[in-house]
Chains A and B, each alone.
Chain A
Amino acid sequence: DTAVSQTPKYLVTQMGNDKSIKCEQNLGHDTMYWYKQDSKKFLKIMFSYNNKELIINETVPNRFSPKSPDKAHLNLHINSLELGDSAVYFCASSPPTGSGRSPLHFGNGTRLTVT
């Protein structure tokens, strides 16, 4: 009954490969996110979708492409993986609120290691 679930939990791949990370939330939230956490634990937003529409696209290489087939799913596809892409990637979701303020609910992360 995990609220925000990501697969896979671990992903080890070689440079130049293409890989995808999947995320699903069963909370009924309208907004989903991808965050990247580097080796120093710094968390930075990458993308956000609201009702399948892209609303935040931070300065991320265009090798990263999010896709939201429906509002419960947000996948992240990465082309031509590089060593610097090694990190933990977190999916999150948040509910709609009239005040526009609500905490994010995070998944448990996907640890990507590029060799």
Chain B
Amino acid sequence: DVKVTQSSRYLVKRTGEKVFLECVQDMDHENMFWYRQDPGLGLRLIYFSYDVKMKEKGDIPEGYSVSREKKERFSLILESASTNQTSMYLCASRLGTSGDTQYFGPGTRLTVL
């Protein structure tokens, strides 16, 4: 069974803190994605990576950075958390093109106080 895991289900941080969200997939997929999900807005792409050490900005990259040092692991970094980054963060992986299945992790609900 394919599996995408995320390091935390719930996280509470203070404004200004550096936040790391980690995602691991066990399917040897090339592509990995970070989305945030807010009510009424659907899933919005923050960053994606199509190979180790490669990354591309999504639709809302401001305030975020990413790291992909190993194929199975894709990290999302909030350099200085702000209250408007309170959201559900979803990681996904995909083998090939946009028509392939994306496999999602369970999500991390981040609250920034």
A and B associate in one complex: no
Q: Which residues of A contact B (CB under 8 A)?
A: none
Q: Footprint of A on B, CB under 8 Å? A: none
